[in-house]
Amino acid sequence: MKLIAGNSNLPLAQAISGYLEIPLTEANVRRFADEEIFVEVLENVRGEDVFVIQSTSYPANDNLMELLIMVDALKRASARRITAVLPYFGYARQDRKPGPRTPISAKLVANLVTKAGADRVLSVDLHAGQIQGFFDIPTDNLFAAPVMSADVKSRYMGKDWMVVSPDVGGVVRARALAKRLDNAPLAIVDKRRERAGESEVMNIIGDVSGRFCILIDDIVDSAGTLCNAAAALKEAGAEDVVAYCTHGVLSGGAVSRVESSVLKELIITDSIGNHAVIADSPHIRHLTIAPLIAEAIRRIADESSVSSLFD
């Protein structure tokens, strides 16, 4: 098989390459003067099983176009099978019509990836499970919960854990982590969002008094929801609050918001290549999901079970 990477997250791609002991395929991915993207694959890929590693994170549209053009180049170079490896699938939050005359952009992007020539998709913690059905090709959705639970056990063993979902929609994700943490108890933050980008905590469902609370979410963008939830948990008597999120979008003043909050620590994975954004922050830490993605890639190439990774 062959591994090829765009420019969105080269450190993660190199870590996956190192784990599999397969060098990244040489490719020229550059811009013309007017910012048009040009891709040239510099190695023979005819008949190969090719995995394209590219998150569609900021700048989302540039990285998405890179992915589509790379897939098209590989298709025209007669690759046998092309798997789009999307550690972070952008546009995932637009998975339904929230009002009249609005798009379902996640479905549109799924169509674009399929029409470009991808034969299958591999992603991590999709914002909504139904997005798998937006693709008309096989789609594997990996979960970062095993990586997170291992980190919790190595760093916070002996604490009186309580897993907390920052909203009602994330209960399934929180329950999955709680199960891995020796069936830790579960609490839910009930919030009401007054307008886009802002959230107001209303109530805590569950007794968090004296507990070491572990907030779990898939995406942290402005960090407003997490910081408000952490403040509410502390007010309800929580001993300490840490947050685990798969995708650290961290837009705008998110980093400073986290640093000035009551959160003890925010832990994100390296699905998005924003290492420079958090390099100087003592309150934000990275976990790598490179071994998880690499093992899934190996199993897809070998035609063996991917789901058994989470048994």
- Residues flagged as binding site for ATP: 34-36, 93-94
List, as one string, the DSSP characters of 178-216: HHHTTS--EEEEEEEEEETTEEEEEEEES--TT-EEEEE
Among 159, 3, 18, 172, smallest CA distance to 79 is for 3
> Tokens in use for 246?
């798969």
Please check whether residue 134 is in contact with residue 96, taking contact to mean a CB–CB distance below 8 angstroms: no
Distance between CA atoms of residues 306 and 297, nearest Å: 9
Q: How many CB atoms lie within 10 A of CB 80?
A: 13
Annotated binding site: 34-36, 93-94, 127, 167, 193, 217, 221-225
Annotated binding site for D-ribose 5-phosphate: 193, 217, 221-225
Annotated binding site for Mg(2+): 127, 167
Contacts of 154 (CB under 8 A, 6+ apart): none
Question: Which residues belong to the active site?
Answer: 191
Please check whether residue 66 is in contact with residue 37, taking contact to mean a CB–CB distance below 8 angstroms: yes
Distance linking the first and last C-alpha atoms of the chain = 26
* Amino acid making up residue 19: Y
Please check whether residue 210 is in contact with residue 237, taking contact to mean a CB–CB distance below 8 angstroms: yes
Strands (E), the chain: 2-5, 27-31, 37-41, 49-53, 81-86, 120-124, 139-142, 161-165, 186-195, 198-205, 212-220, 240-248, 265-269, 284-287
Please check whether residue 269 is in contact with residue 247, taking contact to mean a CB–CB distance below 8 angstroms: yes
